[in-house]
Structure 1
Amino acid sequence: MKILIVEDEASLQSSISEYLSGLGNNCSGAISYTQALEKLDLYHYDCILLDLGLGDGEGLQLLSYLKRTNRAEGVIIISARNSLDDKLIGLGLGADDYLTKPFHLSELNARILAIIRRKSAHGERQIVFREITIDLDAKEVKVNGQLVHMTRKEFDLLLYFIANKGKVISKSAAVEHIWGDDADMADSFDFIYTHIRNIRKKLTDAGSGDYFQSVYGVGYKFINE
């Protein structure tokens, strides 16, 4: 998952990033309202961890921006403020959850996973597409009940395409989703072809249909026909 951590306390941001990255997530950070807004203008994320008290602005302003621009990211407010009013305002502006500091990082991760499940799979722990089953908790892929071994990036990429089945996904969008902000440093996005080729081979070898379709000059589409 691609996660943006908007937190002006450097040590806390670092701790969260290190913990979530160690679980296989792709984490980016912003220490101010301005920096967060710049990142949101450039990238899309699966989940945003949002502190309310930022040095040059207010986290609630970012929530308003996300709502106004119809963004789909899940948002968890992480704040030392524990008043009911702040919680109601934040949730009313579109936040999915509110976690009061201090908190355990394992609890934060559990809440992130819960939000992703609700948004990508309507609360289900498994996504089923024809003969393909994806277990979001175990991070496993099965074809007709047979386990298909995939790398973390292959798993994330397959999940991304299935969640967007029928839509054309550009190479740059696919790379950005699983490599995060570091995707800008790539000389080209051609290496995404290798990952998709590996996914296709693993799935078809296990008896799945080939649902990836190349769209010349643009990227790929996971067909739903």
Structure 2
Amino acid sequence: MKILIIEDELALQENIKEFLESEQYLVETAVDFPTALDKAMNYSYDCILLDIMLPGGNGLDILRELQKTGKKHAVLILSAKDSVEDKVLGLEIGADDYLAKPFHFTELLARIKSIIRRNAQEGSRLISYQNIKLDPENRIVLVDSNPLTLNRKEFDLLYYFLLRPERLLEKTTLAEAVWGDHVDQADNLDFIYSQIKNIRRKLKDASARADIQAVYGVGYKLV
């Protein structure tokens, strides 16, 4: 799961980042309006944590741009401004939830999990496809009720596929989702092949009724 933190208070941004990384999230950051808008428009995230007051602009304008272009992100507004008007406006223009500063990190985590479930998992705690079940919060994968052992990147890749079954996913998209925004600067993406090869072998050994199919020159899809 990849999170974008848009926050200009550097100490708070770093504390949130460290906390979410300890919870096994992949975290990207932006400290000002131009950087935040560029990342929100050009990369994909499972959830964006959005401060309203930013150097160079207003966070709500990022929401407006996302809505205008049809770019879909789950968004949790984080702001010291706790007026009813700000909450209503943020929700009306596309935010999923609103959390006023200061907040406890445990509540932040609960809100993020809830938003992701609503947007990506249709409210369910488990993701199911054929005879595979994945529990993202406890990082457990079951095939016919038997546990499947995966390393962190294998789990994150399978999670990404299970949220998008039978959809062709480009290599760059997979790399950015699991390894971070700047992975597109890598000389090649051969490391994805080795991870997917391992997942396919483990799924086959577990008698999973699903496989990750390569589409030559483009990417992969779960079928």
Cross-structure match for 1:39: 39
What is the CA distance between 1:206 and its match in structure 2?
Answer: 1.0
**Which range is displaced more, 153-162 or 98-107?**
153-162
Cross-structure match for 1:131: 131
Distance 2:72 2:109 in 1: 19
What is the CA distance between 1:128 and its match in structure 2?
Answer: 1.2
Cross-structure match for 1:186: 186
Q: Give 1:152's aligned amino acid.
A: R
Cross-structure match for 1:5: 5
User: How many residues get paired?
Assistant: 223
Cross-structure match for 1:144: 144
What SS does the aligned partner of 1:191 have? Answer: helix
Distance 2:72 2:38 in 1: 17
Q: How much identity, in percent, do the aligned residues show?
A: 47
What SS does the aligned partner of 2:200 have? Answer: helix
Asked if the contact 1:77/1:90 (under 8 Å) is kept, the reply is: yes
Asked if the contact 1:171/1:192 (under 8 Å) is kept, the reply is: yes
What SS does the aligned partner of 1:24 have? Answer: coil
Alignment of 1:57-136 (within 5 A): 57-136=57-136
What SS does the aligned partner of 2:190 have? Answer: coil
Distance 2:137 2:2 in 1: 16
Distance 1:55 1:146 in 2: 50
What SS does the aligned partner of 1:50 have? Answer: strand
Q: Give 2:98's aligned amino acid.
A: Y
Alignment of 1:145-224 (within 5 A): 145-223=145-223
Asked if the contact 2:6/2:50 (under 8 Å) is kept, the reply is: yes
What is the CA distance between 1:106 and its match in structure 2?
Answer: 1.4
TM-score normalised by length of structure 2 = 0.96
Consecutive aligned runs of 4 or more in structure 1 exceeding 4 Å deviation: none
Q: Give 1:193's aligned amino acid.
A: Y
What is the CA distance between 1:210 and its match in structure 2?
Answer: 4.2
**Which range is displaced more, 184-193 or 29-38?**
184-193
Distance 1:113 1:207 in 2: 30
Asked if the contact 1:75/1:96 (under 8 Å) is kept, the reply is: yes
Give CA deviations for 1:46-67 in whole Å, capped at 9, x if unaligned.
Answer: 1100000112110110010111
TM-score normalised by length of structure 1 = 0.96
Any gaps of 5 or more consecutive residues in structure 1? none
Distance 1:26 1:41 in 2: 18
Distance 1:17 1:120 in 2: 22
Distance 1:32 1:201 in 2: 44
Give CA deviations for 1:28-73 in whole Å, capped at 9, x if unaligned.
Answer: 1111111111212331111100000112110110010111122221
Asked if the contact 1:49/1:75 (under 8 Å) is kept, the reply is: yes
**Which range is displaced more, 35-44 or 60-69?**
35-44
Q: Give 1:54's aligned amino acid.
A: L
Cross-structure match for 1:48: 48
